């Protein structure tokens, strides 16, 4: 995380302070319900030193996590086209103002396959709505002493990672006014849906070909579910993504709103979803969220 901190270029950031005092098995991350927001924070800091592996199971840590929309350029993994026009920016502002009162402070949880742009789009949404942004994978990494997701899979197990991921989502579910980018596999555990459904879930549905291109462009080293496949980067990414998509498709469909990128591309006259900007995807997400909320309001459910 020291590297991540050094790379941050913070603008108009929000700090949320989480306090942890747990004696739970496996070193799971627990959150207090108290959090503090401070605008325009200019640093990312962590109180407490990195624990040895044998201390992960029982420790006390104070975390100060700053989140920011404009903290780094959009990566090739998240979007091939990061440019947003003035028109798009104005539409985003209008849509966010329109949707904000309907959301009523509830958290947004972005779900979808690896490489679907959850982090990039999530940061745009958080900035537009005046929310704080969190990446659940990053919070799990912090809970396990700053260890990367790939290392957690390698040194512990996928089950260990999923257990910590569930603890993270449980903690976030007690809060409000957050946009959370979840890990691609967060949807496979029903208990995670229990926590995410306290907010609004949004599925970023991206064609497998586009996902494989994005992942192949930056490599698979950071993707533990892809890194052991054989073959060229695109082929192994596509084949593994196809399997994961089949396994998780029904789970993703549980989301309250679905943002289908080919539909956006068709509306804009593009033949390829790679031509879409993250801002255009964020605008569609806001429209789908409003449609979802309007549908429930018309059925007599007040959100």
Summarize pLDDT for 241-259 with one digit per residue, the tens: 999 999 999 999 999 999 9
Hey, what are 173's tokens? 């579910």
Tens of pLDDT, residue by residue, the chain (303 residues)? 333 333 323 233 333 444 333 334 344 444 433 333 333 332 233 233 333 333 333 232 233 333 333 333 344 334 456 566 889 999 999 999 999 989 999 999 999 999 999 999 999 999 999 999 999 999 999 999 988 998 999 899 999 999 999 999 999 999 999 999 999 999 999 999 999 999 999 999 999 999 999 888 876 554 555 555 566 888 888 988 999 999 999 999 999 999 999 999 999 999 999 999 999 999 999 999 999 999 875 565 554
State the Cα angle at 90 between 89 and 91, rounded to 5°: 90
pLDDT at site 226: 58
User: 209, exposed or middle or buried, with CB in 10 Å at 0-12, 13-18, 19+?
Assistant: middle
Helix (H, G, I), strand (E, B) or coil at 200: strand
Q: Is the pTM of this model over 0.85?
A: no
pLDDT at site 232: 80
Helix (H, G, I), strand (E, B) or coil at 14: strand
Q: Cβ neighbours of residue 147 under 8 Å, at least 6 residues apart?
A: 141, 155
pLDDT at site 50: 36
Q: For residue 110, what are the β-bridge partners?
A: 181, 202
C-alpha atoms less than 13 angstroms from C-alpha of 124 in its C-beta half-sphere: 29
Q: Cβ neighbours of residue 197 under 8 Å, at least 6 residues apart?
A: 256
pLDDT at site 242: 94
Instruction: Quote the CA–CA distance of 97 and 79 in Å, as a whole number.
Output: 25
Q: Which helix (H) or strand (E) holds 269?
A: none
pLDDT at site 235: 87
């Amino acid at each position: 995380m020291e590297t991540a901190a050094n790379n941050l270029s913070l603008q108009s950031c929000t700090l949320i302070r989480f306090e942890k005092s747990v004696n739970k098995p496996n070193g799971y991350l627990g959150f207090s319900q108290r959090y503090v927001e401070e605008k325009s924070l200019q640093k990312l800091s962590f109180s407490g030193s990195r624990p040895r592996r044998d201390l992960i199971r029982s420790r006390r840590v104070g975390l100060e996590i700053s989140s920011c929309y404009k903290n780094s350029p959009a990566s090739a993994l998240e979007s091939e086209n990061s440019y947003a026009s003035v028109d798009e920016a104005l539409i985003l502002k209008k849509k966010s103002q329109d949707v904000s009162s309907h959301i009523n402070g509830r958290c947004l949880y972005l779900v979808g396959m690896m490489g679907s742009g959850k982090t990039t789009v999530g940061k745009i949404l958080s900035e537009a709505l005046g929310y704080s942004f969190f990446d659940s994978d990053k919070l799990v990494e912090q809970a396990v002493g700053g260890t990367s997701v790939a290392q957690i899979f390698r040194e512990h197990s996928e089950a260990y990672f999923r257990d910590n991921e569930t603890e993270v989502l449980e903690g976030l579910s007690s809060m409000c006014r957050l946009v959370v980018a979840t890990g691609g596999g967060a949807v496979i555990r029903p208990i995670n849906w229990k926590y995410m459904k306290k907010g609004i879930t949004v599925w970023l549905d991206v064609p497998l070909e586009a996902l494989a291109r994005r992942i192949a462009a930056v490599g698979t080293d950071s993707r533990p579910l892809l890194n052991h496949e054989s073959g060229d980067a695109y082929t192994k990414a596509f084949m593994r993504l196809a399997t994961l998509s089949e396994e998780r498709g029904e789970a993703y469909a549980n989301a309250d709103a679905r943002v289908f990128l080919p539909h956006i591309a068709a509306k804009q006259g593009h033949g390829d979803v790679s031509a879409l900007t993250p801002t255009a995807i964020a605008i569609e997400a806001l429209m789908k969220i409003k449609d979802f909320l309007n549908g429930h309001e018309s059925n007599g459910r007040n959100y």
